[in-house]
């Protein structure tokens, strides 16, 4: 939720100076951090984790002020819940940082190395991106998670959370910066934007000479605002309109379990299933059982004409339903004549996020995996696995729905780039 | 060179429709191309190569019209030279396409695969980016090279060359599209923007739903214009202020040969050396010989105070010289006290493009390779090797100076992204 207050002219100049100053400090810090050893970064992460626990009453006090303000401003109960920090939530943040410390350090890894005919030995070595800007909404845990992932990957970070959580974020930031200093790393590697004015975000988005990447974390409105106003590359994660296709040869019990899991286990997230596609040859055998199971769990089903011929009591799916990311206990269901129609439907209506096929047919499994170019494509597993932790990336900074740089779940490796390193012995070009 | 003519309102609507139509056709074609086999793409590339040769008189006729127009508009001789196509230049384009056909196809490559504790087999498979827009200036060879690299990597391409070469580009485009069709691939995979109006570029840069990446090829003005106006990710290649550091322990004869090569072999390119840094302990022994060698080749030397103490006759280097990309037979020279000062100088004044150290000292070689985060870092070899072909990427679409997605020389692999592919046997999330 971006506040709409905008600054006057002289205030504007002050904000420009403030933000440029913050970005410049982050950039200087990033050069030191880029050369820091894995052990010193991990030490810092452990100090950060300890600091959150030992300073939890300070953090909770500051958080309470944010909550009081937000209550006075009439925010919803669910908003207030997301904003609230409790000892157990702080413990979860601290545990998260410990887990990040235990990950493999991507920096310095040589991902490939080869010899050229002239004897040059050429390699590609992972290096940090530099300075990463994270722009997010209420949840204060992003302040700790985002900082942890950036520090691990050798990047400085500039955090700009929602105005409602500014005191909580500043408090967490203070604790994290102290921990960095204790580990002899620059405190300036973590910067919290201390002003709530929206122009601060616009200023940030102009600083392409200081900031290498912007990651917006929040709703579609925030992401659009950021990507339309940024001169800095932005990694977007838009919506997930995820599909499961139950093929002719699907094991129906497996299809039922996976579809149920993908829709019901956590409906409000981007990798939950929104549309179920069913091969016409199994529609009669499969649909009654899966629909009953889902309806018993409170799911509203919206079906195509052929689905409703089999189960007449459901609502009809409209054209908009095929595009919809419900993020709720609602599912659209369509009967298709074959794999090709399923893939065409996904290409037309999908968001290139995550799709699964349930099949026992080898050729169809391979055709689906090769033919669908969404960021995650599964055979015989739930769409809910499209998640950095579940895929083994260790942790997740987001799920990219744009193809440049990273596509799909992003871990610490995706916060690096590679440089070419070349060992020669006097080679010149002729 | 972007022309400044802008369209009236009704003309503007027509251009919007025209460009959107082109982009939409390219997107549809890209879906078919993404699934095309390596052999059919290579067949198309060979047909494209043959077509350029067999249709060379048609291409040269159209090119002559462009040349006549440009002469009438009073363009310089060097500009006209870059614009001119001869049979041997067409032969070079045709050979380039054959070479691209012989490269390894990056699409479908599984770059990594691992097993999760729950049995899921997770891999990352290379897929095309989709649709790539290339915006370039006079040289018509980009039409063929750019198309070849995009087709090889399974991407559709939208080409927008300078207005001066529009007939040449349209002619080459016609030949290339015919070759695609002959290989049963969609001709719409290659699109040439047929209008010279600048607003066509602005329209292109808005179409983020159709175009996945924009590559501007040309001067800094073009790149800035494109990156400031684009909603689509842009891979920039700005300037190369490349350094060589001759360390205390350098083999002086090697340092002389490499420095000479890096400055003189082709001074007008981005990987030529612009500043030579010399360790103070070898300045007296090294500078007189390298300066004499360079001056004999017509290089103007601009030195720091300490350089001029050794060789008084040269011009003094100003603060601006350290930032300068001369692209000419000019070199700035600075004596530094050690490796750290060399690295600090590069961090302050460099453009993160390409830097080399000449040293026999193991620790300094490693410190330089690890400590300098430019896109290409070399030990004991010429900066001129920072080039896709020289590094073994097979061909080059550009040299990225921004870190996102690709950093440094970019080949066909950098025109792909990866998706996650997952083989399961019924896994659900708990």
Task: List, for residues A66-105, the tens digit of each pLDDT value.
Answer: 999 999 999 999 889 989 999 999 999 999 999 999 999 9
Quickly list DSSP for B169-235.
HHHHHHHHHHHHHHTTS-GGGEEE-----THHHHHHHH-TTT--EEEEES-HHHHHHHHHH-SS-B-
pLDDT digits (tens, 9 = 90+) for B194-217: 988 888 999 999 999 999 999 998
- Is the per-residue pLDDT at B266 higher than 70? yes
What is chain A's percent helix, strand, coil content, to nearest 5?
45, 20, 30
Beta-carbon contacts of A209 under 8 Å, excluding residues fewer than 6 positions away, are none
Residues of B in contact with A428 (CB under 8 A): 257-258, 260-262, 265, 381-382, 384
Check: CB of residue A33 under 8 Å from CB of residue A155. yes
Q: What pLDDT, in 10s, does the model give residues A381-392?
A: 999 999 999 999
The confidence score (pLDDT) of residue A9 equals 64
Chain-chain contact of A31 with B375 (C-beta, under 8 angstroms): no
On the CB side of A79, how many CA atoms lie within 13 Å of its CA?
18
Helix A220-229 vs helix A199-206: crossing angle, to nearest 10: 50
Q: Is the domain covering A242-385 a CATH 3.40.309.10 domain? A: yes
Angle at A178 between CA A176 and CA A180, to 5 degrees: 70
Mean of pLDDT over chain A = 94
Share of chain A above pLDDT 90, in %: 87
> How buried is B320 (Cβ within 10 angstroms: 0-12 exposed, 13-18 middle, 19+ buried)?
exposed
Question: Are A251 and B426 in contact, with CB atoms under 8 Å apart?
Answer: yes
Tokens of A330: 């609602």
- Rounded distance between C-alpha atoms, residue B385 and residue A290, angstroms: 61
Chain B contact set for A227 (CB, 8 A): 231
Average pLDDT over residues B239-259: 97
**In the prediction, which pLDDT does B309 show?**
97
Q: Mutate one of B111, B125, B343, B385 to test the A interface: name it (highest A CB count within 10 A).
A: B385
Interface mutation target, options B351, B354, B373, B413, chain A, most CBs of A under 10 Å? B373
Q: What is the pLDDT of residue B4?
A: 41
Token representation of residue B9: 């309102």
Tell me the Ramachandran region of residue B222: left when phi exceeds 0, alpha when psi lies from -120 to 50, beta otherwise. alpha
Chain B positions touching A107 (Cβ under 8 A) are: none
What's the gap in Å between the CA of A8 and the closest CA on chain B? 25
**Residue range A391-405: average pLDDT?**
90
Cα–Cα distances in angstroms (integers) from residue A139 to residues A1, A146, B272, in the given order? 11, 12, 49
- Asked whether the beta carbons of residue B265 and residue A429 sit closer than 8 angstroms, the reply is yes
Quick one: A7 exposed, middle or buried, by C-beta within 10 A (0-12, 13-18, 19+)? middle
Provide the pLDDT for residue B219: 84
Classify residue B5 by its DSSP letter.
Answer: -
What's the pLDDT score for residue A137? 85
Give contacts of A374 with chain B, Cβ < 8 Å. 419
- A47 has pLDDT over 60: yes
Mention every residue, 6+ apart, whose C-beta is less than 8 A from residue A284: A310
Q: What stretch of H or E contains B132?
A: strand B131-136
Q: Chain A contacts of B107, Cβ < 8 Å? A: none
Biggest alpha carbon–alpha carbon distance for chain B: 79
Mean pLDDT, residues A283-293 taken together: 97
**Tell me: the pLDDT tens digits for A172-231?**
999 999 999 999 999 999 999 998 888 999 999 999 999 999 999 888 889 989 988 888
Q: Which helix (H) or strand (E) holds A92?
A: helix A87-101
Q: Is the pLDDT of residue A8 over 80?
A: no
Distance in angstroms (rounded) separating the CA atoms of residues A66 and A75: 11
Nearest CB to A429; choose among B390, B402, B423: B390
- DSSP calls for B252-302: HHHHHHHHHHHHHS-TTSTTSEEEEEEEHHHHHHHHHHHHHHHHHTT-EEE
A9-229 matches A242-385 in fold: no
Both tokens assigned to A175:
């604790």
**In the numeric block, which tokens belong to residue B2?**
């972007």
Task: Look at B422 and A378 and tell me if their CB atoms are within 8 Å.
Answer: yes
Structure confidence at residue B228 (pLDDT): 86
- The Cα–Cα gap between B226 and B200 comes to 12
Burial category of B187 from C-beta neighbours within 10 Å (exposed 0-12, middle 13-18, buried 19 and up):
middle
Q: Note the pLDDT of residue A218.
A: 84
Say what the pLDDT of residue B170 is.
Answer: 97
ipTM for the complex? 0.93
Q: Where exactly are the structural domains of chain A?
A: 9-229, 242-385
* The model's pTM: 0.92
List the A273-279 sheet strands across, edge first.
A315-316, A300-303, A330-336, A273-279, A242-246, A354-358, A376-381, B416-427, B121-128, B110-115
Contact A163, A196 (CB under 8 A): yes
pLDDT, tens digit (0-9, with 9 covering 90-100), for A125-146? 999 999 999 999 868 999 999 9
Residue B137 has pLDDT above 90, yes or no: no
Mean pLDDT on B48-69? 97
pLDDT at residue B198 in the model: 83
Percent of chain B exceeding pLDDT 90 equals: 87
State the DSSP code for B209: T
User: Do B377 and A227 lie within an 8 Å CB cutoff?
Assistant: no
pLDDT at residue A5 is higher than 60? no
pLDDT (mean) for A374-379 = 98
Measured between alpha carbons, how far is B92 from B140 in angstroms, rounded to an integer?
12
pLDDT at B174 over 50: yes
Percent of chain A whose predicted confidence (pLDDT) is above 70: 98
Interchain contact, A381 vs B427, CB within 8 Å: yes
Could you give the residue ranges of the DSSP H alpha helices within B183-251?
A: 199-206, 220-229
State the pLDDT confidence band at A2, using cuts at 50, 70 and 90: very low
- The domain A9-229 is placed in CATH, from the list 3.40.605.10, 3.40.1160.10, 3.40.47.10, 3.40.50.300, at 3.40.605.10
Residue A10: the pLDDT is 72
CB B383 within 8 A of CB B262: yes
> d(Cα A353, Cα B101) in Å, to the nearest integer?
32
Helix, strand, or coil here: A211?
coil
Q: How far is CA A282 from CA A247, A315, A322, A339, B219, in A?
A: 8, 21, 21, 13, 59
Mean pLDDT of B39-50: 98
β-pairing, B121-128 vs B110-115, is: antiparallel
pLDDT tens figures, B269-307:
999 999 999 999 999 999 999 999 999 999 999 999 999
């Amino acid at each position: 939720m971006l506040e709409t207050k905008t600054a006057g002219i002289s205030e504007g100049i002050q904000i420009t100076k403030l933000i440029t100053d913050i970005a410049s400090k982050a950039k200087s810090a990033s050069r030191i951090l880029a050369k820091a050893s894995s052990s010193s970064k991990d030490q810092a992460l452990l100090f950060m984790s300890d600091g959150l626990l030992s300073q939890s009453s300070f953090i909770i006090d500051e958080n309470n002020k944010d909550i009081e303000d937000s209550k006075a401003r009439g925010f919803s109960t669910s908003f207030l819940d997301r904003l609230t920090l409790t000892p157990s939530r702080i413990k979860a943040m601290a545990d998260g940082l410990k887990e990040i410390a235990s990950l493999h350090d991507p920096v310095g890894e040589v991902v490939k190395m080869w010899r050229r005919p002239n004897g040059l030995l050429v390699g590609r070595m992972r290096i940090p991106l530099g300075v990463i800007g994270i722009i997010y909404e209420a949840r204060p845990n992003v302040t700790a998670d985002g900082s942890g992932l950036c520090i691990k990957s050798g990047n400085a970070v500039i955090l700009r959370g929602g105005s409602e959580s500014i005191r909580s974020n500043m408090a967490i930031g203070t604790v994290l910066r102290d921990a960095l200093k204790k580990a002899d790393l620059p405190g300036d590697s973590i910067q919290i934007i201390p002003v709530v004015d929206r122009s601060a975000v616009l200023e940030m988005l102009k600083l392409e000479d200081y900031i290498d990447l912007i990651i917006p974390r929040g709703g579609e409105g925030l992401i659009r605002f950021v990507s339309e106003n940024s001169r800095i590359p932005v990694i977007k994660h838009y919506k997930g309109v995820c599909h499961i296709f139950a093929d002719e040869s699907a094991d129906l019990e497996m299809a039922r379990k996976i579809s149920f899991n993908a829709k019901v286990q956590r409906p409000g997230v981007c990798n939950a299933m929104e549309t179920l596609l069913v091969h016409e040859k199994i529609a009669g055998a499969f649909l009654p059982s899966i629909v009953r199971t889902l309806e018993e769990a409170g799911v509203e089903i919206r079906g195509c004409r052929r689905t409703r011929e089999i189960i007449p009591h459901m609502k009809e799916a409209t054209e908009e339903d095929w595009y919809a990311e419900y993020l709720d206990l609602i599912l659209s269901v369509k009967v298709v004549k074959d794999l090709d129609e399923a893939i065409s439907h996904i290409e037309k209506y999908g968001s290139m996020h995550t799709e699964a096929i349930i099949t026992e047919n080898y050729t169809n499994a391979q055709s689906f995996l090769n033919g669908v170019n969404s960021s995650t494509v599964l055979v015989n597993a739930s769409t809910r696995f499209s998640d950095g932790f579940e895929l083994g990336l260790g942790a997740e900074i987001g799920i990219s729905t744009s193809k440049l740089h990273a596509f799909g779940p992003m871990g610490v490796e995706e916060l690096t780039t590679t440089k070419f390193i070349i060992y020669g012995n006097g080679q010149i070009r002729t």
